[in-house]
Chains A and B, each alone.
Chain A
Amino acid sequence: MLASIIASGLAAGAIYALVGVTYNTMFSTSRVMSFTAGQLAMLGGVFGSLFTLKMGLPAIVGFALTLVCCAVIGIITEFVAVRPVLKNLDQHLYVLSTLALALMIQQVAAIKWGTEPQPFPRLVGFGSGVFDERFWLPVVACAVTIVGLEVLYRRTLVGRAFLAIAEDNFAARALGLPERNLRIASYALAGIVGGIAGFSGGQLLLAFFANGALLNFYGFVPVALGGLGNNRGAIAGGLALGLFQQAANFLVGGIFSSVAVFTLFIVVLLAAPQGLFGAATARRV
């Protein structure tokens, strides 16, 4: 039982963590919590199944095409749901615009892809039982993604520009950084991260249009637990959420596991409103 809790808990947690990173990536350059994050992950599974299973393309080609498609959806999000409301961030119109786009993505997926879950192919063919690839693949994908993002942010000029925009938008612009282009790039990057989450978790979650709403929800929890904009916090929060959720599934079961998860979530936020890994924001007075 313990092995099963750890295997499926870490796998689900890694997917939640990647969705949390998707939220953070979009947030860092725009200060917008885009509720399309879960839909991007859902599309990762749907596009992955479409390219590799239905169209029969090699897994690596299907993976690349999936990431391209998700990046495009990320860019569309920036143009359609984020840019028009950036001038009025204090009115939180982005909640409405990104939720509306998320709903549109979900409905189009339901109509074009179908409302029943579709199979996702085995990619590597290695492992069985608790070491089945559907459990370890999301964890590996999560680890590779976070390392890649660390390299991008710490070792490359573009990554540092992302950080500069995230740190102080006005100062970065004053230094001549192309803020708009960097924001578009960050949304494409978020699409790629979401696509990785969906593709790597496809065997676990299947290619199912309703996964978007679920991942929107469970992906938001690590962001809140780990602190907004904090990727390391999102990873820790996501993995903890997955493990706790799976343990609750075993111990209390079904509907009550969701109750247990959100009870803990509320308790943590009451104790640490800025998140477990977030620092209290300094306010200019």
Chain B
Amino acid sequence: MAVSRRELLVGGAGALGAASLSFPMPALAQTEPIRIGCLAAMTGPSSAPTIGFNRGVDFSVKAINAAGGVKGRKIEIVMRDTQGDPTKAVNATQEMISQVKVHGIWGPFNSGEALATTPIMARAKMPDIHPCVVESLIDPTKYPNAFRMAPSNSQWDDAVRNYCLKVLKVKKVAVIGDTTGYGVTAVGASVAAFKKDGADVVYQANIDATQPDMTPDMLRAKNAGAEVIVVWSVTTGMEARMFNTRAAMNWDVPFAGHPSLASGELAGLVEKPENWKKVYAIGYKSCSYDASGKLPPKSEELVDRLTKAGVGLNDTLLWWIAGGIDAIELFAKAVEASGGTESAGIIAYLNGLNKYPGYFGNYTFTPTQHNGYPTEEIVMSEASTAKNGTFALAPGYS
């Protein structure tokens, strides 16, 4: 039988195709490590949270891998130093997505970077868990892949307002921020919310953080009858000047507000330690100790484990370490539950979490709500009581 060249080609191609179908696909996908990208500002001015988060990440990865990994797959962290620079964060994100091909990303850890990286991750459908506070970073329609595991700005605002109105039971409020974009926005939102809840905002101001003397604003607030001063600023110099001015004025008005009111640097900036009393900073139930000096049982257990593992606690915050642990464990659970590292499976798992018991908090996500941290777990702390990265609960909590 004569065989034409065309028949030979078609037959050959068919045979080759059939042969290739019969070869088993390599099972690489089921054995390769679970790669989690970490956008971390390890150096530069905003590196303090990263140091804490990374301790949690290292601790968690070692524990999971030592226990055999997730269904036999080890976790591999792909760390990139963004230096707090959005440009570097964008480059690292693109590298992680297109070259390293990570299965999920933890971070970035500040909102400036996250504003730049979130749309890129959304286009790639890359599961992302981050702790950044800016409201617009969470939008399940635009960014169905992005999940926030820490409070947002408005949750902080709610916690401070509730403490002032319901615990301190004050009616006349002064709201002061710095002149940065954050300070101006936060003061505006805070004033509007206080007024909505029926409080009398007797004084509001945005002060240049380098202003050497705070007497003018403090005097105006006092003359207006303020019963509490709410502070929205990250500038410890300005905060210390306000505390010192309050003492010089012999005024015992309480301060409440931003977590930076509890920054350790304030200890050196206040003229006397007592100037830092009656200052209440945003904190978290899981990382606050009660009158007997005890943390919640789960946090006590975590601190014990961290101490045994030699993880330093005295130069960072416990919630940063706990947040790092939770983020890695969330990815691990998502891979375990969904049976693989497909982004759709990881996202679907996260969308179904209901009061998932993490160390930092109990997270709840739904397909339409990606702010996972519960507002009721945000509390106010005594700012000057730092102990191993935790703080005493402010007065008024049972």
A253 interfacial by beta-carbon distance below 8 Å: yes
Contacts of B45 in A (CB 8 A): 110-111, 114-115
Which A-chain residue is minimally distant from B212 (CB atoms)?
Answer: A204
Q: Please state if B208 and A12 are interface contacts (CB–CB under 8 Å).
A: no
Q: Does A118 contact B (CB under 8 A)?
A: yes
B207-224, CB < 8 A from A = 207-213, 215-217, 219-220
Are B237 and A255 in contact, CB atoms less than 8 angstroms apart? no
Query: In the complex, A232→B261 CA distance in Å?
Result: 42
Residues of B within 8 A of A250 (CB): 215-216, 219
Give CA–CA (A255, B239) in the complex, Å: 17
Given A206-B237, A254-B205, A118 and B217 contact (CB-CB distance below 8 Å):
no
Cβ of A8: which chain B residues have Cβ within 8 Å of it? 212-213, 215
B234-292 with Cβ < 8 A to chain A = 235-237, 240, 248, 263, 265, 268-269
> How many angstroms between the C-alpha atoms of A266 and B120 in the bound complex?
46
Nearest residue (CB) in B for A4 is B215
Q: In the docked arrangement, what's the CA distance between A78 and B263, Å?
A: 40
Q: Give, as a whole number of angstroms, the nearest-CB distance from B243 to chain A.
A: 13
Say yes or no: is B366 at the interface (Cβ < 8 Å to chain A). no
* CB-CB nearest in chain A for B265: A116
The A98-118 residues at the B interface (CB cut-off 8 A) are 110-111, 114-118
**Is B385 an interface residue when CB atoms closer than 8 A count as contact?**
no
User: Which one, B209, B210, B213, contacts A249 given CB within 8 A?
Assistant: B213
Q: Is the Cβ of A4 less than 8 Å from the Cβ of B213?
A: yes
A208 touches B212 (CB 8 A): no
Question: Are A116 and B219 in touch, CB under 8 angstroms?
Answer: no
The minimal Cβ–Cβ distance linking A10 to chain B, given in whole angstroms, is: 11
B145 to chain A, nearest CB (A): 32
Report yes or no: B205 in contact with A1, Cβ–Cβ below 8 A.
no
The answer to whether A208 and B220 touch (CB under 8 A), given A110-B45, A118-B268, A249-B213, is no
Contacts of B269 in A (CB 8 A): 117-119, 206
| A96, CB-defined interface residue at 8 Å | no
Residue of A nearest to B260 (CB): A116
Interface 1/0s, chain A 188-222, versus B by CB < 8 A?
A: 00000000000000001110101100100000000
B44 contacts the other chain (CB 8 A): yes
**What residues of chain A lie closer than 8 Å to B237, measured between beta carbons?**
116-117, 206, 208
Q: Is B179 on the interface with A (CB-CB < 8 A)?
A: yes
Let me know if B206 is at the binding interface, CB within 8 A: yes
Contact B205 A210 (CB under 8 A): no
Nearest chain A residue, comparing its CB with the CB of B214: A249
Report the Cα distance A1→B219, complex, angstroms: 9
Residue ID in chain B nearest A132 by CB atoms: B248
Q: Is A11 an interface residue (CB 8 A)?
A: yes
Annotate A1-42 by CB proximity to B: 1 below 8 A, 0 otherwise: 100100010011000000000000000000000000000000
Chain A residues near B235 (CB-CB < 8 A)? 117
B213 touches A246 (CB 8 A): yes
**How far apart are the CA atoms of A208 and B205 in the complex, in Å?**
23
B215 near A258 (CB under 8 angstroms)?
Answer: no
Q: Which residue of the partner chain B has the closest CB to A53? A: B268
**Which of A110, A114, A119, A208 counts the most B-chain CB atoms under 10 A from its CB?**
A119
**A110-B45, A116-B236, A208-B237 as given contacts; A254 in contact with B206, CB under 8 Å:** yes
Distance in angstroms between the alpha carbons of A53 and B209 in the assembled complex: 23
- Whether A208 contacts B210 by the Cβ 8 Å rule is yes
> In the complex, are the beta carbons of A117 and B236 less than 8 A apart?
yes
- Decide yes or no: A11 and B210 within 8 Å by CB, A1-B219, A116-B265, A254-B217 being known contacts: no
Asked if A129 is at the interface of the complex by the 8 Å CB criterion, the answer is yes
A118-B268, A253-B205 given as contacts; is B220 within 8 A of A214 (CB)?
no
Can you offer 7 A-B residue contacts whose CB atoms are under 8 A? A8-B215, A12-B213, A129-B248, A210-B210, A246-B216, A253-B217, A254-B206
In the A-B complex, the 3 residue pairs with the smallest Cβ-Cβ separation, listed nearest first, are A117-B237, A115-B45, A8-B213
Chain A residues within CB distance 8 Å of chain B: 1, 4, 8, 11-12, 110-111, 114-119, 129, 204-206, 208, 210-211, 214, 246, 249-250, 253-255, 258
